[in-house]
Amino acid sequence: MTAPGTLVERIDAAWTALGPQEQRVAGFLRARPDESALYNAAELARRTGVSKATVSRTFQRLGFAGAQEARDLLRAQRGAGLPVVVDDPDDAVAAQASRDAANVQRLAAETDRAALDAAAHAVAVARQVVVLGFRSGFPVAMLLRQALVQARPDVRLVPEHGQTLGEELVGLGADDVVVVVGLRRRPASFDDVLRALDTAPSRTLLLADPSLGPTPADWRFDAAIESASPFDSYAAPLALVSALAGRVLAGLDGAGAARVAAVRAAYADLGELGA
């Protein structure tokens, strides 16, 4: 029988075939799947109170050649977005800041400025802008909409809470722009959404990360999300959102400045913002 993909799935499938000592190792791994990539065979033997031979035998029963192959699987799963501890830095904050800085520098080096200006101009002059984000892409999309709506009218964030997407894609015209934020661990329907937008008359601006393969879009910009922590980093996607929104505002000239002033006056009239 082919072993299931994840470490926990392999342990569950093999559990009844494991001996008591092997179950001690497997139980330890199952309780800590997010950090198991940190431990070699010797460390696992020490932590579980069994011999290295027992650890090796446990991994073989789980379908691995050894502890290193299991660690490689966990690292690959981290590369696919699964929260797994693969490093244990002495200073987690410094390590994260260093990785964030590297991601932002990569964004600066790889972003096509002419394409970004063209996409920003399309967003600025569009009849309406629809901003779409799923899962981890949703808060990024929400922040983009929050910025754009201060620069221009008719910016919608979809889908609304509890609603489906189909009705939001009906009626889009050639003068509309749909901004899609699709970051790692996208929903299964993501490709279907992009294909539907590809057949629509509107234009599509895609903000993604390099893990996404070739996709139909009028413009696409990638931002790295690699992280020193078990969770992806959104420093570079947010930098991209800020840069895009800034170019949109700059392209609107006086109209953008007038709307910013009007929004500021509305805040004051309503007493919505504090100091």
pLDDT digit string, tens, across residues 168-203: 778 889 999 999 999 887 888 888 889 989 999 999
Residue 243's pLDDT is 96
Total domain count, the chain: 2
Number of other residues whose CB lies within 10 A of the CB of residue 131: 27
71 and 196 co-located in one domain: no
DSSP 1-36: -PPPSSHHHHHHHHGGGS-HHHHHHHHHHHH-TTTG
Which of 79, 94, 122 is the last residue in one of the domains?
79
Q: Is residue 34 domain-resident?
A: yes
Q: Is residue 236 domain-resident?
A: yes
Q: Report H helices in 33-159.
A: 41-48, 52-61, 67-79, 92-110, 113-125, 137-151
Sheet hosting strand 219-222, strand order edge to edge: 155-158, 129-133, 177-182, 203-208, 219-222
SS3 179: strand
Closest CA to 61 of 93, 85, 26, 31: 26
Closest CA to 205 of 140, 256, 145, 129: 129
Q: Poorest-confidence range of 161-165, 174-178, 214-218?
A: 161-165
Q: Model's pTM, two decimal places? A: 0.69
User: What CATH number does the domain containing 39 carry?
Assistant: 1.10.10.10
50 and 119 co-located in one domain: no
Rounded distance between C-alpha atoms, residue 234 and residue 240, angstroms: 10
Whether 122 and 205 have beta carbons less than 8 Å apart is answered as yes
124 and 28 co-located in one domain: no
User: What CATH number does the domain containing 202 carry?
Assistant: 3.40.50.10490
What phi and psi, each to the nearest 5 degrees, are found at residue 66?
Answer: 180, -175
120 and 231 co-located in one domain: yes
Q: Is residue 47 domain-resident?
A: yes
Which of 79, 97, 129 is the last residue in one of the domains?
79
240 and 124 co-located in one domain: yes
237 and 117 co-located in one domain: yes
Q: Is residue 42 domain-resident?
A: yes
Residue 79's pLDDT is 60
- DSSP code for 206: E
Taking CA atoms, 204 is separated from 35, 133, 198, 267, in Å, by 39, 13, 8, 32
Domain of residue 52, residue span: 7-79
* pLDDT tens digits along 10-60: 888 889 999 999 999 888 888 876 666 677 888 888 888 999 899 889 988
CB neighbour class for 260 (10 Å; exposed up to 12, middle 13-18, buried from 19): middle
40 and 176 co-located in one domain: no
Q: Is residue 256 domain-resident?
A: yes
Q: Is residue 194 domain-resident?
A: yes
129 and 52 co-located in one domain: no
67 and 197 co-located in one domain: no
E strands, 94-250, are 129-133, 155-158, 177-182, 203-208, 219-222
60 and 119 co-located in one domain: no
Residue 3's pLDDT is 47
71 and 130 co-located in one domain: no
Q: Is residue 49 domain-resident?
A: yes
Structure tokens at 105: 């520098």
Which of 79, 101, 132 is the last residue in one of the domains?
79
Q: Is residue 100 domain-resident?
A: no
Rounded distance between C-alpha atoms, residue 198 and residue 215, angstroms: 9
Asked if residue 107 has pLDDT above 60, the reply is yes
122 and 28 co-located in one domain: no
Structure tokens at 212: 């996404």
What phi and psi, each to the nearest 5 degrees, are found at residue 136?
Answer: -65, -20
* pLDDT tens digits along 122-132: 999 999 999 99
